[in-house]
Amino acid sequence: MLVALYNRTFEIDDIPMLQRIVHKLEGYKLKLLFYDDFYARIQHFISLQESPLLFSGRADLPANTDMIFSFGGDGTLLDTICFVGASNIPVIGINLGRLGFLAAISEEDVDAALMSLVQGSYTIEKRTLIHLDASVPIFGDAPFALNEFTIHRKDTSSMIKIHTYLNGEFLNTYWADGLIVSTPTGSTGYSLSCGGPVVFPQASNFVITPVAPHNLNVRSIVVPDDGVISFEVEGRSDNFLCTLDARSETVGSNVQIAVRKESFNISLVRPHEHNFLKTIRQKLYWGIDKRN
């Protein structure tokens, strides 16, 4: 079994946990494939039984990789998605961060989670991605996101007008600082912080949520994910900001943009003892009211 290991940053305090995980994986006789930058940073802190294989990007991530471990927070896991793309390699998030809706396996759960993986006691969850189409090439070979696509004002403090269409039919003009189109997975992220609803990952929907709307009667709307959402942007600046998860591009107001459901899914690994309801109860502190 070949497993890839990815991380973009870690603290000295994380070293014992990382070392324990690597040694356990070796103990289970798994072949390790390190992201080259991660290995360069960690090789002075851990010892390996044999020299690992290395990869630097999507092009040299072997097709026979059985699983990729993302060590960090949700942002690190979103980076990992760019490596995986349409390869269908399952991704598991080990939480070195703080909140961790996606990288939900904590230090306390690591040993049990690793045992579950080796024993095959886990579920593969297929998660919808959102795809960006634009009249100019942006976001290179990864014009997709697991959490959300956003439009934001740029170069000015004035709000922008975002004319929004659903399958070519006018939906609304949002006078706001920006607009979020979230997948079900992303509904617990930026969209939630802007007042959007929590949507189950299995739902076939997108959530459109304005950022600081000028009209207070404008709220989030849930739409089917089998259509195309297109935009025309006006503002005092000639440019605005587009983001796919944590990646951003400056785009001219003359650029045509639209989003739709991506043609492929991302596979997230979930040990059987973890599920979405347990995660939101833990992360959002639902049910801790002593009156319950």
Active-site residue set: 74
C-alpha to C-alpha distance for 36 and 60, rounded to whole angstroms: 11
The partner residues of 186 in beta bridges, in order of sequence, read: none
232 token code pair: 């025309």
Q: In what order do the strands lie in the sheet with 130-134?
A: 144-145, 130-134, 257-261, 229-234, 160-166, 169-176
Q: Is 97 exposed, middle or buried (0-12, 13-18, 19+ CB in 10 A)?
A: middle
Q: Which helix (H) or strand (E) holds 18?
A: helix 15-27
Sign of the CA dihedral with 19 first, then 21, 26, and 32 last: negative
C-alpha to C-alpha distance for 159 and 180, rounded to whole angstroms: 15
Question: Of the candidates 164, 134, 182, which has an alpha carbon nearest to the alpha carbon of residue 233?
Answer: 164
The one-letter amino acid at 140: G
* Total residue length of the chain: 292
The one-letter amino acid at 95: N
210 token code pair: 């304005």
Using N-to-C axis directions, what is the helix angle for 15-27 and 110-119, rounded to 10°?
20
Give 29's DSSP letter.
T
Given the structure tokens 């306390």, which residue do they identify?
Answer: 108
C-alpha to C-alpha distance for 40 and 42, rounded to whole angstroms: 6
Q: What value, to the nearest 5°, has the Cα angle with vertex 193 and ends 169 and 101?
A: 105
